[in-house]
Amino acid sequence: DTAVSQTPKYLVTQMGNDKSIKCEQNLGHDTMYWYKQDSKKFLKIMFSYNNKELIINETVPNRFSPKSPDKAHLNLHINSLELGDSAVYFCASSLYGGEQFFGPGTRLTVL
Amino acid sequence: SQQGEEDPQALSIQEGENATMNCSYKTSINNLQWYRQNSGRGLVHLILIRSNEREKHSGRLRVTLDTSKKSSSLLITASRAADTASYFCATARMDTGRRALTFGSGTRLQVQP
């Protein structure tokens, strides 16, 4: 059973398009996150939700909009995609700030 | 700037040898965690050490934490080819209610069979 799942695994799209990435966790965790890993492997927090409430928004362009319909889901919608958005996006979850469980990642390529 | 810098950036050793990776950070922390990332995969949690702990063991892993120097080390003993991966330290800050982790730049470990 997959603990944290993301879809799609790969996403190739043109500049200017709008796309969404979905994340689901079945661990009963109360906090979910989106991280971005760039080509140099730097991982940076983008958003964090606790019990469906946004608690972290790390200076991410407002083209990125997270949505948490319930505690088990955290989706990421990106408007007007730019070349610099190409990266691997990881969803993660945790229980009250403990160890984080990561999804397999979504590799986004913007052409 | 990156909170959590790892040293070395890359490490190549022979199977059976020990691998030591170091991590430095800048702010006060609640805990420090180590993660492993295999190529093309997500991160896997290895071990968590709290700010009031100095050393922790888990199987072949040994982690130390020196809060006065704001540094940590991860030792993998008797390495195996399957340990080949990137290793990241991550800090949970004291002011985190935020709960997010700040990751270091990672150490790429290559274990030659």
B103/A99 touch (CB, cutoff 8 Å), yes or no: no
Least confident of A3-12, A66-75, B98-107: B98-107
How far lies B35's CA from each of A4, A16, A76, A98, B101, in Å? 16, 34, 24, 13, 11
Please report where in the chains the tokens 């709960």 appear, as a residue: B99
Of A41, A56, A101, the CB nearest to B100: A56
More confident residue, A89 or A39: A89
pLDDT at B98: 54
Residue of A nearest to B32 (CA): A99
What average pLDDT does this structure show over B7-20?
94
Going by pLDDT thresholds of 50, 70 and 90, the confidence category of residue A80 is very high
Going by pLDDT thresholds of 50, 70 and 90, the confidence category of residue A79 is very high
Q: CA angle, A5 as apex, A4 and A10 as ends, to 5°?
A: 140
- Kindly state the tokens that stand for B74: 């991860």
A43/B96 touch (CB, cutoff 8 Å), yes or no: no
Which one-letter amino acid corresponds to residue B54? R
Task: Return the closest-CA partner of residue A20 out of A61, A60, A71, A63.
Answer: A63
Query: Any CB–CB contact under 8 A between B32 and chain A?
Result: no
A31/B43 touch (CB, cutoff 8 Å), yes or no: no
Among A2, A21, A99, pick the best mutation site for testing chain B contact (most B Cβ within 10 A).
A99
Give the count of Cβ contacts less than 8 A between chain A and B.
58
Going by pLDDT thresholds of 50, 70 and 90, the confidence category of residue B99 is low
- Give the CA count within 13 Å in the CB-facing half-sphere of A103: 31
DSSP-assigned beta bridge partners for residue A57? A47
Q: CA angle, B55 as apex, B50 and B56 as ends, to 5°?
A: 80
What average pLDDT does this structure show over A17-29?
96
Query: Any CB–CB contact under 8 A between B44 and chain A?
Result: yes
* DSSP one-letter string for chain A: --SEEEE-SEEEE-TT--EEEEEEE-S--SEEEEEEE-TT--EEEEEEEETTEEEEE-S--TTEEEEEEETTEEEEEE-S--GGG-EEEEEEEESTTS--EE---EEEEE-
Cβ-proximal residues to A73 (8 Å cutoff; 6+ apart), any chain: A22, A23, A24, A25, A32
Chain A: closest CA distance from residue B105 (Å): 6
Least confident of A72-76, B3-7, B64-68, B87-91: B3-7
DSSP-assigned beta bridge partners for residue A50? A31, A53
B48/A33 touch (CB, cutoff 8 Å), yes or no: no
Residue pair A81/A60 in contact by the 8 Å Cβ criterion: no
B41/A104 touch (CB, cutoff 8 Å), yes or no: yes
More confident residue, B99 or B32: B32
Please report where in the chains the tokens 């993301």 appear, as a residue: A6
Work out the mean pLDDT of chain A and round it to a whole number.
91
